[in-house]
Amino acid sequence: MIEVDHLTKYYGDFPAISNVSFTAAKGEILGFLGPNAAGKTTTMRILTGFMPPTSGTARIAGHDVVTESLEARKRIGYLPETVPLYTDMTVKSYLAFMGTLRGMDSKAIRRRTGDVVQICHLEDYYNSIVGKLSKGFRQRLGIAQAILHEPDVLVLDEPTIGIDPIQVVETRQLIKGLGGEHTVILSTHILPEVSMICQRVIILHEGEVIAVDRPERLAERLEATERILLEVRGPTNQVAKAIRDISGVQDVTYGEEGGKVVYNVTCRRSEDMRAQIARTVVEHGWQLMRLESVTMSLEEIFLRLTAAEGA
């Protein structure tokens, strides 16, 4: 449904994105994850035909976003970073207006307005003035206008930014429900959000794709290292030193947790490592109270990926 090939965009001589390539299958929800200035909005603007790339190509349902811009845009619904709402219109008249802009006839507009108002839970605000809607409801209206013309592809630029926690949960559910029917690309720098909503994540950093994977697979990719939580009864400094001296251990930190000393061990991932750590503790005559492998959160992975890139 979406094919992006070596997309590059220069602002002057500054490359905002370079060689960005990815695909998205029909019905898939794809997350763009990256810190500020990573190039998320730039990529989305190119996909939606807002501006051309410097080089590379992007296709929506087979239509090139530059050479067949109109065909491509017909198939896209776009929620930009700042939703362009007309604050003096009612929700109803705004949606009708957006439908007209997209070339829908009045019958289609009536039918779809009813649909999207229901999908986005805007029923109670149908006749409200847009300017009086709360931020979360404006965001929903932004999504409603994006899906009005039944596009195959939805591009949502930070759809949950600035929304209160309760509305965020609902908005995420709303977006999740749009997958399957639509192919969705959403950008965020909220890490748990991608795990919650997306089937696949593209991590962008300084304009480059540094990882593409399923959220849970990203964790496995850092398989080379493992984190182990260890609780030992023994002299703290000596315990830490003894574990640090085990070959394959990269780092040991410790802190107190409810009156107990807990060691945080980063080491090469293998069955052996855990056995060796246990053996070391026991051989010193200390008591091993807990030894537990911890899965790394996407957040840590993200930090690691970006740190590795910068190094």
Ligand X SMILES: Nc1ncnc2c1ncn2[C@@H]1O[C@H](COP(=O)(O)OP(=O)(O)OP(=O)(O)O)[C@@H](O)[C@H]1O
> Which residues of the shown chain bind Mg ion in the complex (CB under 5 A)?
40-41
Residue 306 CB, nearest approach to ligand X (Å) = 13
Q: Does 289 bind ligand X (CB under 6 A)?
A: no
Residue 173 CB, nearest approach to ligand X (Å) = 23
Q: Does 38 bind ligand X (CB under 6 A)?
A: yes
Cα 116 from Cα 94, distance rounded (Å): 13
Q: Does 13 bind ligand X (CB under 6 A)?
A: no
Give Dmax (Cα) for the chain: 82
What residues have CB less than 8 Å from 297, skipping those under 6 apart?
191
**# chain residues binding ligand X, by CB under 6 A:** 11
39 makes contact, choosing from Mg ion, ligand X, none, with CB < 5 to 8 Å by partner type, with ligand X
Cα 168 from Cα 181, distance rounded (Å): 21
Pick 80 or 136: Cβ nearer ligand X: 80
What one-character-per-residue DSSP string does 33-92 give? E--TTSSHHHHHHHHTTSS--SEEEEEETTEETTTTHHHHHHTEEEE-SS----TTSBHH
Query: Structure tokens of 258?
Result: 């409810």
Q: Does 189 bind ligand X (CB under 6 A)?
A: yes
Please say whether the beta carbons of 108 and 99 come within 8 A. Answer: yes
The dihedral built from the CA positions of residue 128, 132, 134 and 136, taken in this order, carries a sign that is positive
Residue 65 CB, nearest approach to ligand X (Å) = 16
Pick 133 or 204: Cβ nearer Mg ion: 204
Pick the binder of ligand X from 31, 39, 142, 215 (CB under 6 A).
39
Pick the binder of ligand X from 22, 24, 40, 274 (CB under 6 A).
40
Contacting residues toward ligand X, per CB under 6 A: 11, 16, 34, 36-42, 189
